[in-house]
Amino acid sequence: MMRIEDLKNKPIAVLGYGQEGEAVAKYLIKHRLEPVLFDQRPWDKWPKKKQEVIKKLGINFIFGPDCFKELAGFEVAFRSPGIPLSHPDLLNWPNLMFTSQTKWFFEHCPAKIIGVTGTKGKGTTSALIYQILLTNNYSLPTNVYFTGNIGKDQPLDFLDDLKSEDWVIYELSSFQLQDLTKSPHIAVVLMTTSEHLDYHKDNEEYQQAKNSITMFQTNNDFAIINADYPASVKIGEQGKGMKFYFSARKELERGCYIKDSQLIVIDVLGKNFQYPISNIQLRGRHNLENVSAAVSAGALLKIGGSVIQQAIDGFKGLEHRLEFVAEKQGIKFYNDSFSTTPETAIAAIKSFDETLIVILGGSKKNSDFRELGKTISRTKNIKALILIGQEALIIKRAILSFSSPPGEEGGEGGRTDADKTPLILESAKDMKDIFNQIKQIAAPGDIVLLSPACASFDMFKNYEDRGKQFKKLAADF
């Protein structure tokens, strides 16, 4: 394991200057090192305020599309998660030692880490575990830190302050897990399906990247695994950690499961308790999975059932994750802009019995929309669809393939009573256009659901921009 002292007098590169790259650069500078920044975005494309921030760091930088071709002579490179190890320009440097913020943190963290991964639900589950620990913390002489994509701080911001008795909840994507050689003390494996095939070469590589969350566990570690998804079970069963399962669909002999409107914990390190799910403020069965995972983590930490329930029942959810925004003229608006896969859109749609107007579409991620099309064609409470972005036509074809007679858009067996095509509206160019279409069709009692199933970059800066625009116009509806 390389120590900070081992980096003295070595040429160090920081690849990618986003949030993580900035945190890495500041950490290295704090330790009197002088890294060089590399980013493929040309210098003249950066906002002036950001250019000033970079200049004030007082270190050299090489920006532009071909910057990674300038790595000759460097010995160590801190890779940002958005830059794959398979990047062709990085393959030219076989003697360059790659690390990352997450890899460095895991290798040097004295505290115990609870790591959470999965295709979706990472942020919600991580936040729930954090809330449970905070609620219980009055009786613990420890500090609790929350990091990852939605954490309050970058991990290198507080690494030097950690003590062995502290806890760190770390939300982990496949990008961050890919090169780890150490697993968290408690690994949480949520729903895992296909995702990020625009980054990973195939589904096998994606799931292989996830394996690191449990692969290096010892007999003293624990894995909390979603029993309802074969890929999650396969990932969770790597390594030597003690396995505990959770399920929203079936009873378990040991672990946490949902039955008859009760959340039941049975024999999790001797913990046994149950309570009704009626007070949980999060909608959808997928969120019951997230709650079950968080409750399992609390039980492993020997936190009392009443404290866990207090934390869960008071949790209102995260911004852009099936977030209730407003009720206007009897119409309720829900912001699920963080939904960037068909699977999460399906989960959101299944969370409602009310009449739905669903906004779907965005930029390409090579997703398979067939299951989403099937779900939509067989969901009777969908009143209308507003299809947007690059993927609008692909999603439309997927829907029509299950709801049209043979010969029309590849109909599979023709129309049945269960297969119904809702009203489809297209051609909206921005969020104002979307809301103009909503005004034409929405009525009191309807739910307007933004759950795009796609990335946002064709029409919006990112999913947050998409969600914030939706929330603003919903509030003014």
What string of pLDDT tens digits covers the 477 residues of the chain? 889 999 998 999 999 999 999 999 999 999 999 999 999 999 999 999 999 999 999 999 999 999 999 999 999 999 998 898 888 999 999 899 999 999 999 999 999 999 999 988 899 999 999 999 999 875 555 799 999 877 668 999 999 999 999 999 999 988 889 889 999 999 999 998 754 444 445 556 667 778 999 999 999 999 999 999 998 999 999 999 999 999 999 999 999 999 999 999 999 999 999 999 998 989 888 899 999 999 999 999 999 999 999 999 999 888 899 999 999 999 999 999 999 989 889 999 999 999 999 999 999 888 899 999 999 999 999 999 999 999 999 999 999 998 754 434 444 433 344 456 799 999 999 999 999 999 999 999 999 999 999 999 989 999 999 999 999 999 999
The SS3 assignment for 379 reads coil
- pLDDT (0 to 100) of residue 414: 39
User: Angle between the 305-313 and 285-300 helix axes, to the nearest 10 degrees?
Assistant: 140
Question: What sign does the CA torsion over 61, 62, 64, 68 have?
Answer: negative
- pLDDT (0 to 100) of residue 208: 77
**Looking at the chain, which residues constitute the CATH 3.40.50.720 domain(s)?**
4-99
Q: How far apart are CA 82 and CA 204, in angstroms?
A: 19
Q: How far apart are CA 78 and CA 56, in angstroms?
A: 20
Question: Helices (DSSP H) in 201-267: which residue ranges?
Answer: 203-210, 212-215, 230-236
Contact call for residues 339 and 451 (beta carbons, < 8 A): yes
The SS3 assignment for 101 reads helix
- pTM for this one? 0.82
CATH class of 323-475: alpha beta
Question: What sign does the CA torsion over 407, 411, 414, 416 have?
Answer: negative
- Going from the C-alpha of 439 to that of each of 177, 194, 225, 273, 448, the distances in angstroms are 44, 35, 43, 47, 11
Contacts of 434 (CB under 8 A, 6+ apart): 359, 386, 388, 428, 470, 473
- pLDDT (0 to 100) of residue 218: 97
- pLDDT (0 to 100) of residue 194: 55
Sheet with 323-328, edge to edge strand ranges: 323-328, 331-335, 447-450, 356-361, 382-388, 423-425
| Superfamily name and number for 4-99 | NAD(P)-binding Rossmann-like Domain (3.40.50.720)
Contacts of 428 (CB under 8 A, 6+ apart): 386, 388, 434, 436, 437
Question: Helices (DSSP H) in 360-445: which residue ranges?
Answer: 370-377, 392-403, 431-441
Q: How far apart are CA 294 and CA 124, in angstroms?
A: 9
**Cα Rg of the chain, angstroms:** 23
CATH topology of domain 110-313: UDP-N-acetylmuramoyl-L-alanine:D-glutamate ligase (3.40.1190)
Contacts of 50 (CB under 8 A, 6+ apart): none
**Looking at the chain, which residues constitute the CATH 3.90.190.20 domain(s)?**
323-475
Contact call for residues 263 and 289 (beta carbons, < 8 A): no
- pLDDT (0 to 100) of residue 140: 56
**Looking at the chain, which residues constitute the CATH 3.40.1190.10 domain(s)?**
110-313
Q: Extract the tokens encoding 129.
A: 């575990």
- Name the burial class of residue 368, with classes exposed (0-12), middle (13-18) and buried (19+) by CB atoms within 10 angstroms of its CB: middle
- pLDDT (0 to 100) of residue 223: 97
